[in-house]
Amino acid sequence: MNALPARTMRGLVLPLALLVAWQVWGMATTNPRTPTPTRIVRAAVELVESGDLPLSIATSLGRVFAGFAAAALIAIPLGLAMGASRPVERNVDPVIESFRPIAAIAILPLAILWLGTGTPAAVLIVAYAAFFPIVINAIAGAKRINPTLLRAAATMGLSRFAIMRTVVVPSALPAIGVGLRIGMGVAWTAIVAAELAVGAKAGGGGTGGIGSMMFIFYAYSIELNRIVVCMIAVGLVALVLDRALRAAMRWLMPWSAS
Amino acid sequence: MSAAKLRLRHVGKRFGADAAKQTVAVDDFTLDVAPGEFLVIVGPSGCGKTTILNVLAGLEPPTAGEAFIDQRPISGPGPERGVMFQDYALFPWQTVSGNVEFGLRHGPAGDGLDTSARNARVRATIDLVGLQGSEHKYPHQLSGGMRQRVALARLIANEPQVLLMDEPLAALDAQTRLILQDELLRIWGQDRSAAQRRTVVFITHAIDEAVFLADRVAVMTAHPGRLKALIDVALPRPRNDATRADPQFQALCQHIWSLIRDEAYRATVA
Amino acid sequence: MRLRPALVYVRTMAVFVAVWWLVSVWTANTVLLPSPPVVFDAIVDLARDLELFQHAGISLLRMVLSLVVAGALALPLGFAMGLRRGIDAAVDPTIELLRPISGIAWIPLALFIFGVGNTLPIFIMTYAAFFPILLGTVAGVRGVDRRLVDAARTMGVPRRTIITRVVMPAALPALLVALRLGVASSWTAVIAAELIGAPSGLGYAVEWYRELLMTPQVMSFIAMIGVLGYACDRTVRALAERFTPWAGDEWQR
């Protein structure tokens, strides 16, 4: 059996050392609520068994997917159109650039004013957040298309529509993929932020999503270990989403080198 | 007969730590370069020309054999063996004079030079390569030909004994190339005696370029890189446009091409 | 020709405002969608009694502070990781484990540790800015053209000088990109952090007025958030133009 490569071993030293130091520190303090690795593991097991953690993650993910899909459906065609046509870009760009610096979370109070504190507002925030990276990368993708490729297709007699379908879209796909990945990351962060902010105002249970649940553990039941479990879950879901999207992109684009 | 300026003795280079997956870039390469000689190495892609240059420059150690300058083993890079890279490697944040004086300011070649002496040498070098008036321009504002002159000036300012050049003219268009070949020979001092000239090891793909510039041409083969032939170029100096029309020039080009042709063909189908 | 883009911008925004006005008149509900003039009045009032600028100043100050701290931590570490594979191998896994946990997710725990106040936003913002700056620095250092380093080596330049005189200037364009990303990250985090856990700042102001159902004011502060975010980004871009004029437009927009 081969030992793990040296590089991996060296990489594990720091995290393991930190974990051990943390555990020791935690056992030395007297407060039973202090988070330590062992208590966190126990809290994780409890949360999973009770179904609270899976339910809250599912709720949040549902909102993310809905918002993400809505954003992509608008942003991809819009971005491609803007990248392909200077007049379209010139006319739409000012609105996009004006709103881009306004983070989704800043829109949340407006969304709550309009739609209340439930899922519709959350989906709106997610869609708003994901929209910008997707559209910007779609624009870049459409712009970066090698004009020589377009000309080559034209000299083979393809119609404008066929060129869009067979040259523009595949060429822009890598950039769109990047936009989708960034958009997904932003969407997940946005939902957690939105649920945290709403949780600060309302008081729901696991159906409020993971951000909301985290806030309740802070404000009402003061379960620090459970908070940390949620934090780790947030990180893990982000990783899984990113990997899944990357795999999907690779499957869609077998010709791409990276 | 004076001693060789540069010696390569059975130099070999393998890449890859894994014994099963090693590539042999260069195998058993032995060559002497005489002082003041202009030696050109020619060969197909992947024949290890750049590796030989890197060994002479001291940028990479050989895995077999040894390299010497003036009978001393080469153990690392240094200003006495100046290098000109294919993509110029100019510092984009420095002006032309900033680039040219870099080695004098920060390296041992400038030891013992006070500011005015340094500036004088920089100015003289810039004049020599024909860039007067462009001292304050940045690389991104220069054409390819001009950038190449800057790279050459930066190299010469350190007054190296040996110039190592890795396909320096490859990125230029054909016309600029011809001009710079002439310029290179002028700056090298092709009308001076061998004792007064610097030693040059020059790498290129282009056979006509090799024959035009060289005193001797080393022909390499690929996979693994080996020295196939050493060919004397007895064409008179100074070399100029008339040289290219010389039938002996044509004959030499044909001869070298016949040595490489098969390999070059195989590279386009394999 | 330079004037045309400005005119197009004005025209587009005018269309946007016109559509907004029409919808607001149609809904006729100031809490739901105030009309542009009402919002404009709110902005003017808030500006006149300086409340707009006070909160803006506080948020900006927090951002600058967090960038300084994040930079002070991330730049040296990034250089070390970029230059020495050993350090990178040792530290990178820990970084990669922490990075997916966004700054936002830290808010509840940080609230518990720091409570509501100034420290919370600065902590969250520093954390948010740290990773983009670190990763961008590592990429920038690693991305330095090897030929530039080789050229300096062949001139006999000592290693220390190579790092200061070649690697650092060569990495500068990428570092400024990293800084831009850090600014964006940290400005997003400021809003979330202030909304939830600070007694002042633009995020706090937005939430405060929402609870009072004073939508024009809410929109005023949101607009301020947008304007300042844009201004900060432009500032970093101007810095990059000024200090690294040779770098092309590798980073769009």
Comparing A184 with A84, the larger pLDDT belongs to: A184
Q: How sure is the predictor about B146, in pLDDT bands with cuts at 50, 70 and 90?
A: very high
Residue C139 has pLDDT above 60, yes or no: yes
How confident is the model over C52-61, as pLDDT tens digits? 999 999 999 9
Please give the structure tokens belonging to residue B131.
Answer: 């860039």
Within-domain flag for C63: yes
Q: What is the pLDDT of residues B232-265, one digit of tens each?
A: 999 998 999 999 999 999 999 999 999 988 888 8
B87 in contact with chain C, both atoms CB, cutoff 8 A: yes
Residue B29 is predicted with a pLDDT of: 92
Residue C156 lies in a domain: yes
Residue C141 has pLDDT above 70, yes or no: yes
At residue A31, what are phi and psi to the nearest 5 degrees? -70, 120
Residues in CB range of B200: below 8 A, 6 or more apart: B37, B38, B39, B162, B163, B164, B165, B188
Q: Do the domain assignments include residue A158?
A: yes
Residue C38's identity, in one-letter code, is V
Q: Which two tokens stand for residue A102?
A: 């306004």
As a whole-number percent, the residues of chain B with pLDDT over 70 amount to 99
Q: Is residue C252 part of a domain?
A: no
Q: In what order do the strands lie in the sheet with B81-84?
A: B81-84, B162-166, B199-204, B38-42, B216-221, B226-232
> What letter does residue C103 receive in the DSSP assignment?
G
Q: Is residue C20 part of a domain?
A: no
CA distance B129 to B123: 10
- Strand bridging mode B64-69 / B38-42: unpaired
3 state SS of C200: coil
C-alpha dist (Å) from residue B118 to A111, A167, B152: 67, 56, 17
CATH number, position C51: 1.10.3720.10
ipTM for the assembly:
0.83
In angstroms, the CA C219 to CA A165 distance is 41
- The beta-carbon neighbor of B83 closest among C151, C157, C244 is C151
Site of tokens 């907004």? C20
Q: Do the Cβ atoms of B263 and B44 come closer than 8 Å?
A: yes
| pLDDT at A113 > cutoff 60 | yes
Q: In this complex, which of B79, B102, B139 lies closest to C246 when CB atoms are compared?
A: B139
- Ramachandran category for residue A51: left, alpha or beta (phi over 0 → left; psi -120 to 50 → alpha): left
Q: From residue A22, give the alpha-carbon distance in Å to each of A27, A39, A231, B119.
A: 9, 12, 17, 60
Question: What secondary structure letter does DSSP report for A101?
Answer: T
Give phi and psi for B86, each to the nearest 5: -60, -40
Please answer whether residues A191 and A209 qualify as being in contact, where contact means their C-beta atoms are separated by less than 8 angstroms: yes
pLDDT of residue A2: 55
Q: Is residue B14 a contact partner of residue B23, using CB atoms and an 8 Å limit?
A: yes
Number of Cβ within 10 Å of residue B200's Cβ equals 22
What are A29-54's pLDDT values in tens digits? Answer: 777 777 888 888 888 888 888 888 89
Name the CA dihedral angle for B135, B138, B141, B145, rounded to a multiple of 10 degrees: 60
Q: Which residues of A197-232 are buried (b: 16+ CB within 10 A; e: fewer)?
A: bbbbebebebebbbbbbbbbbbeeeebbbbbbbbbb
Q: Looking at the predicted structure, is the pLDDT value of residue C170 above 90?
A: yes
Cβ–Cβ below 8 Å for B83 and C244:
no
Interface check B82 vs C, CB under 8 A: yes
Q: For residue C248, is it within any domain?
A: no
Which CATH number covers residue A213?
A: 1.10.3720.10
Cβ-Cβ contacts under 8 Å, C98 against chain A: 235
Answer CATH for B1-80+164-270 from 3.30.70.360, 1.10.10.10, 3.40.50.300, 3.40.630.30: 3.40.50.300
Nearest C-alpha in C relative to A115: C32
Q: Whole-number mean pLDDT of chain B? A: 90
Question: What CA dihedral angle connects A74, A77, A79 and A80, to 10 degrees?
Answer: 170
Angle at B234 between CA B231 and CA B237, to 5 degrees: 130
Cβ distance of C105 and A192 shorter than 8 Å: yes
Judged by a CB distance cut-off of 8 A, whether residue A113 touches chain C is yes
pLDDT value of residue A30: 75
Interface test with C, best of A22, A108, A184, A195 (most C CBs within 10 A): A108
Segment A73-81 mean pLDDT = 93
Q: Do C104 and A239 touch (CB under 8 A)?
A: no
Which residue in the set B82, B92, B93 is minimally distant from C154, CB to CB?
A: B82
Phi/psi at B40 (nearest 5 deg)?
-115, 135
Q: Could you say which residues from 143 to 182 on chain A have a Cβ atom under 8 Å away from some Cβ of chain C?
A: none
Averaged pLDDT score across all residues of chain A: 86
Reference C74, options C2, C114, C19, C126; nearest CA is C126
Do C191 and A106 make contact, defined as CB atoms within 8 angstroms? yes
Q: Which chains touch B (3 or more CB pairs under 8 A)?
A: C
How far separated are the first and last CA of chain C, in Å rounded? 20
pLDDT at A183: 95
A–C: how many Cβ contacts below 8 A?
154
Burial (CB count within 10 angstroms: exposed 0-12, middle 13-18, buried 19+), residue C51: middle
For C168, the closest chain B residue by CA position comes to B93
Question: What is the pLDDT at residue B112?
Answer: 86
Of B23, B51, B81, B21, residue with least CA distance to B224: B23
pLDDT at residue B2, rounded to an integer: 63
Q: Is A101 in contact with C225 (Cβ distance < 8 A)?
A: yes
Q: Calculate mean pLDDT across residues C95-115.
A: 88
pLDDT category of residue C253 using cuts at 50, 70 and 90: very low
**What confidence tens digit (pLDDT) does each residue in A184-205 have?**
999 999 999 999 888 766 555 4
Confidence of residue A7 (pLDDT cuts 50, 70, 90): low
- Is B89 within 8 Å of chain C by CB? yes
Say if CB A45 and CB A228 are below 8 A apart.
no
At position B59, the amino acid (one-letter code) is L
Distance, in Å, from the CA atom of A177 to the CA atom of A181, rounded to the nearest integer, reads 6
Q: Which residue has the tokens 């041409």?
A: B217
A149-164 exposure pattern, b = at least 16 Cβ within 10 A, e = fewer: ebeebeeeebeeeebb
Question: Touching check for A10 and chain C: CB below 8 Å?
Answer: yes
CA distances from C171 to A86, A140, A187, A212, C67 (A): 33, 24, 31, 42, 19
C198 lies in which domain range? 39-243
**Cβ atoms of residues A210 and A57 within 8 Å:** yes
Least confident interval from A222-231, B156-165, C139-148, C175-184 = A222-231
Number of domains in chain A: 1
State the Cα–Cα distance between residues C196 and B139, nearest whole angstrom.
50
Which pLDDT band, with edges at 50, 70 and 90, does C252 fall under? Answer: very low
Contact between A65 and A72 under an 8 Å Cβ cutoff? The reply is no
- Considering CB atoms only, which of B76, B81, B89 is closest to C151? B89
Q: Tell which of C11, C101, C120, C221 to mutate to test the A interface (max A CBs under 10 Å).
A: C101
Instruction: Please name the residue ranges forming H helices in chain C.
Output: 3-27, 36-48, 51-83, 85-98, 107-114, 119-142, 146-154, 159-162, 168-197, 202-211, 215-243
**pLDDT for the residue numbered A171:** 87
Residue B163 has pLDDT above 70, yes or no: yes
The domain of A75 spans: 38-252
- Neighbour-count burial of B123, counting CB atoms closer than 10 A to its CB (0-12 exposed, 13-18 middle, 19+ buried): middle
Peptide bond into B224 cis (omega under 30): yes
Give the mean pLDDT of B136-141.
92
Average pLDDT over residues B55-75: 92
| Span B150-179, average pLDDT | 92
Average pLDDT over residues A145-170: 84
Classify residue A146: in a domain, yes or no: yes
pLDDT averaged over chain C?
89
pTM score: 0.84
- C-beta atoms of C151 and B92 within 8 A: no
pLDDT at B181: 94
Residue B24: pLDDT over 80: yes
Residue A128 predicted with pLDDT over 50: yes
Q: What is the largest CA-CA distance in chain B?
A: 57
**Beta-carbon count within 10 A of C5 CB:** 12
Q: Is residue C133 part of a domain?
A: yes
C250: pLDDT strictly greater than 70: no
pLDDT at A144 over 90: no
For residue A90, being part of any structural domain is answered with: yes
Question: For C98-127, what is the mean pLDDT?
Answer: 89
How confident is the model at residue B32, as a pLDDT? 94
What's the 3-state SS for chain B? CCCCCEEEEEEEEEECCCHHHCEEEEEEEEEEECCCCEEEEECCCCCCHHHHHHHHHCCCCCCEEEEEECCEECCCCCCCEEEECCCCCCCCCCCHHHHHHHHHHHCHHHCCCCHHHHHHHHHHHHHHHCCCCCCCCCHHHCCHHHHHHHHHHHHHHCCCCEEEEECCCCCCCHHHHHHHHHHHHHHHCCCCCHHHCCEEEEEECCHHHHHHHCCEEEEEECCCEEEEEEEECCCCCCCCHHHHHCHHHHHHHHHHHHHHHHHHHHHHHC
Q: How far apart are CA C148 and CA A198, in angstroms?
A: 53
Amino acid (one-letter) located at C125: M
Question: Which amino acid, residue A218?
Answer: Y
Percent of chain B with pLDDT over 90: 65
Which residue on chain A is closest to C183 by alpha carbon?
Answer: A101
- From chain C, the residues in CB contact with A92 under 8 A are 12
- Inter-chain touch A101–C215, beta carbons under 8 Å: no
Does a structural domain hold residue A25? no
What average pLDDT does this structure show over A221-243?
90
Are the C-beta atoms of residues B154 and B165 closer than 8 Å to each other? Answer: no
In the sheet that B6-15 helps form, which strands lie side by side, from edge to edge? Answer: B23-33, B6-15, B64-69, B72-73
Going by C-alpha positions, the residue among B64, B59, B63, B116 that lies closest to residue B83 is B59
Is A173 buried (19+), middle (13-18) or exposed (0-12) by CB count in 10 A?
Answer: middle
> Could you tell me the residue ranges of all domains in chain B?
1-80+164-270, 88-160
